[in-house]
Amino acid sequence: MDKAPDAFRTISEVAEDLDLPQHVLRFWETRFSQIKPLKRGGGRRYYRPDDIDLLRGIRHLLYGEGYTIKGVQRIFKDEGVKFVQAAWREGAPAPRTRPEAEPAGQESAPPSMPLAEPPHQPPAQAIHRPAPPPPAYRPEVPLATTMSAVTDVRRLQAALYELDECRRVLAAARDPEGDRGRAA
């Protein structure tokens, strides 16, 4: 049974619709104060249509346009919530700021693959996690296959980074005081 377009949706329905794991949506709530699903008994989340558009916009900016979490936060500040809600729609205006590389240790989304121009270079004093080199072009492998492999590698790197972040958040939530409070 399909729901009406203006019906509230559960986190599992939204996660399936956006092709994202549920934990990513919960993680985004910690990074974007603009995401405010209705919470009922037991902490169950219900998303309004505007919430879903906002999540679609965030997903588009992170995964489609290559912005980092800090970059999307900057877009929220500069452009507003309505701008992000509409960002995923075809023909939507581009943000005034461009995606930038961020120092290692800061949250990011999978980088986009700029083909026409080199990526923005951060300040020299910033320390960066070295990116693995893209697969070497082999004449016997069509270019489209090689570019697809580069995209896959970047997506895998982003997934690994996200898993590391989740591990860090879970470890902090499980043991906020570290081993200091434990008896031997």
What confidence tens digit (pLDDT) does each residue in 131-182 have?
666 665 555 555 555 556 666 777 777 777 788 888 888 887 887 665 555 5
Choosing from 103, 123, 158, the residue where a domain stops is 103
Residue 110 is assigned to a structural domain of this protein: no
Residue 118 is assigned to a structural domain of this protein: no
Residue 138 is assigned to a structural domain of this protein: yes
Q: Are 87 and 60 in contact (CB under 8 A)?
A: yes
Judgement on whether residues 95 and 59 belong to the same structural domain of the protein: yes
What confidence tens digit (pLDDT) does each residue in 54-68 have?
999 999 999 888 899
Give how many domains the chain has, as a whole number: 2
Q: Which domain holds residue 10?
A: 1-103
Neighbour tally for 111: CB within 10 Å: 17
Grouping H, G, I as helix, E, B as strand and the rest as coil, residue 46 is: strand
